[in-house]
Every structure is written in structure tokens, then in C-alpha cells.
Amino acid sequence: MSGLFSLDGRKALVTGANTGIGQAIAVSLAGQGAEVVCAGRRTCDETVAMIEAAGGTASSLILDFADPLAARDTFTGAGYSILVNNAGIIRRADSVDYSEEDWDAVIDTNLKALFFTCKAFGKALIGTGRPGAIVNIASLLSFQGGIRVPAYTASKHGVAGVTKILANEWAPHRITVNAIAPGYIATNNTEALRDDPERSKAILERIPAGRWGEPSDIGGTAAFLASPAATYVTGAVINVDGGWLAR
């Protein structure tokens, strides 16, 4: 008998799956039995090898979301029922110095590509009457402002909004749409912060859990949201942050 959290027989696309949070999500989905297609602008061979070494099934797909419509032909007839939108970029500068080029690059990758990937996925499922699950990766900056990342903050606020509108529209089609807002996770993106003793200390003092998150913390949450256990969870933005937003 399949368990409530089993993903046996399901096929998932995870974007930005070559490292960090995306890699952990791909491994977690595969660990629950899903066939996982690991997408990125660079090869995801390392992630595929990790999944196969654990006895799972995975493959790699090149998708560069600098083109927001990169996934438009990915889903029709391909058997997907899970989509995780993790791919994203960040550009830092004071708002008074922020360039239009950086703004457009971040918004195109983090928000426009996410919406049109969801659209292609949803259209394919609705056309066949099959249920499915979308998990978008939002941010603490879906709730907060941050500093020196205006386009990133705007994009992640947008991810929360897109998640909710698609949940409203697609619930009748048995497609759940949720988002995860990671806190401070130990990945390459936070290495500079963790290597700065004063900044790291200040961050840890704010986190009730008293530790940096692990990518697997996000992977487990994504696997839950994609599973039969979460079929009545939709339109949620779940912060996985060790209590940061509760402080």
C-alpha cells in the first residue's frame, strides 16, 4: 500500500536542481519514489548521480530561464504531475544605483519565467484532467523588504501573489499551488554570510532554532507539499526559517 507521503508513479520537474536547495528538493522527491527531471542552465549530472546512487530515477534537462518561456514546450504529453520552480538569480546594489538591466534580468528569471512555466504545466494538466502539484520557491523577502535587492524583493513578493492566484484558479482542477519561503539556509549563496563571524552571529541570534537551515529542510517540505498528504493545502506560503519570522 502506498503511504500518504509516497510519490510513487509521479514525475516531477525541479528547476535550478544542480546545487543547493534545488538539488535537495530533487533528492527528496526521488526519495519518496518520484521520477525526477533535474533542470538547470547548467548540467545537473551531480544531482542525477546522487539520486541514482540512492536507487532513484532521474535525468537532466537544460533550461535557461533567462528566456522566460524556456519551458513552454516541456510538459505537453510528458507525464508530469509535479513542478517545483526553484531557479532564480539575485543582483545587489543600492536602489539609487540599481540598473534597468539588472531589474529586468531578475524579474524575468524569478517571476516572469516562473509564471509562464506554471502556465505551461497547468495547461498541460488541465487539458488531460489529471491532478498535480506546484511548489514555488519564495523567500523571507516575500514578507520583508531586505536591503540592496529591490528586484529580488519585488520578484519574491510577486511569487507569493502568483502562487495565490493560481491556487484560486486551479483548485477546481485538483492542482495545488503552494510556495516555500526559505530562511537562512547553508548553501553557496549564503557562504559569505556564514564566513563573516559578526554577520553570522547576528543572524543566528535572531533565529529561535539557533542554527542555519539545511537544504534538506526545504526538500522535505517540498516533498510533503507534492504528496497526497497535502491535497487540501493550496495557496499557502510556508516559511521554513527556524522561527525567524516569528521573532
Which grid coordinates are listed for 25? 528538493
Give the bridge partners for 180, in sequence order. 137, 238
SS3 content of the chain, % helix, strand, coil (to 5): 45, 15, 35
Q: How many CA atoms within 13 Å lie on the side-chain side of 20?
A: 17
Q: Which of 80, 152, 184, 232 is labelled catalytic?
A: 152
14-217-208 Cα angle (round to 5)? 145
DSSP state of 109: I
CA gap 240, 28 in Å, rounded: 16
Q: Confirm if 111 and 158 have CB atoms less than 8 A apart.
A: yes
Query: Which residues have CB under 8 Å from 19's CB, separation 6+?
Result: 46, 47, 187, 188
Please name the residue that has the C-alpha cell 545587489.
92
Whether 184 sits among the annotated catalytic residues: the reply is: no
In angstroms, the CA 164 to CA 3 distance is 28
Rounded-to-integer distance, Cα 44 and Cα 61, Å: 7
Rounded to an integer, what distance in angstroms lies between the CA atom of residue 30 and that of residue 81?
Answer: 14
C-alpha grid cell, residue 170 = 486551479
State the catalytic residues.
152
